[in-house]
Structure 1
Amino acid sequence: MATQDITAEQFNDIINGNEIVLVDFWASWCGPCKSFAPTFKASSEKHPDVVFAKVDTEAEQELASAAQIRSIPTLMAFKKGNLLFNQPGALPPAALEDLIQQVKDFDVEAAIAEQNAE
């Protein structure tokens, strides 16, 4: 599956309506964003079961502000609507693949149950 550009209006529906979502916050003037884009796109083609979303921080300034984006690129990973990863900086391909596998392996229900038991 290719990457898809999303807007503030789509954000919550995408996050909550899909099992796993990776969101790349970027801008057209950002050099590291441009260098990370092919890695993000290539990974999207390897993982059709994961939604790869892109948010243009220039076009979606309110969303970027609400997500507390302080530097770009910033990558967020969600599973079943829960934020599992939030980190600025472009990841190399191997690190992105490792992150995706960790998100796939993470048991959200067990983590929530454990948190509620505390």
Structure 2
Amino acid sequence: MGLCFSSTTADEAPANHPHFTGGKVTFITNKDVWNQKLSEAKTQGKIVIANFSASWCGPCKSIAPLYIELSEKHLSLMFLTIDVDELTELSTQWDVKATPTFFFLRDGQQIDKIVGANKAELQEKLSTIVDSQVPGDQK
């Protein structure tokens, strides 16, 4: 499992984020888009997986392809990525201390969290969440 701790300047951040975009992942560019997506998820009854990452973080880059793959597999969930250097206010609000940090949100409230690029743990938590969303009384 890898972790990165913020130590970069805005000048080191690339203009685009090819590692973190693709699949059904929405790249959050400002707080308005964040609020819109949380509202949309609540209306649609979707759980949000928010990936707080950094463009310079090796572990973030290594887990990004899996995150994108999972977004295409689990369409009942909403996948978001936030660059901690671009949205420092949001990162501070969510008390992100290391990247990547994955928050699992229901109705905008945290229900779980993973700190670090642990692929097995991310897959396991997503499977548990998807299994818990079985409609009706079949759980």
TM-score of the aligned structures, taking structure 2 as reference length = 0.69
Q: Is the 8 A contact 2:114 2:122 kept in 1?
A: no
Q: 1:28-86 CA deviation, whole Å, 9 max, x = no partner?
A: 11010000101100100101111110001111111111110000000001123321112
1:102 equivalenced with 2:128 (yes/no): yes
Sequence identity, in percent?
Answer: 30
- Residue pair 1:77, 1:103 contacting (<8 A) in 2 also: no
Give the structure 2 partner of residue 62 of structure 1.
Answer: 89
| Secondary structure at 2:112 match in 1 | strand
Aligned mate of 1:2, from 9, 12, 24? 24
* Aligned residue-pair number: 106
**Contact 2:49–2:105 (CA<8 Å) still a contact in 1?**
yes
In 2, Cα distance between equivalents of 1:53 and 1:46: 15
Higher helix share goes to which structure? 1
CA displacement at 1:98 relative to structure 2:
1.7
Q: How do residues 72-91 of structure 1 correspond to structure 2 at under 5 angstroms?
A: 72-91=99-118
State the AA in 2 paired with 1:99: K
Match of 2:52 among 25, 28, 45: 25
Partner residue in 2 for 1:115: none
- Name the amino acid aligned to 1:4: T
Secondary structure in structure 2 of the residue aligned to 1:17? helix
Contact 1:72–1:88 (Cα < 8 Å) also in 2 = yes
Q: What is residue 15 of structure 2 aligned with on the other side?
A: none
Cα pair distance change 1:16/1:91, threshold 3 Å = farther
Moved over 6 A (4+): none
What's 1:36 paired with? Answer: 63
Using the TM superposition, give the Cα deviation of residue 96 of structure 1 relative to its aligned residue in structure 2, in angstroms. Answer: 2.0
- Segments of 5+ residues of structure 2 without an aligned counterpart are 1-22, 134-139
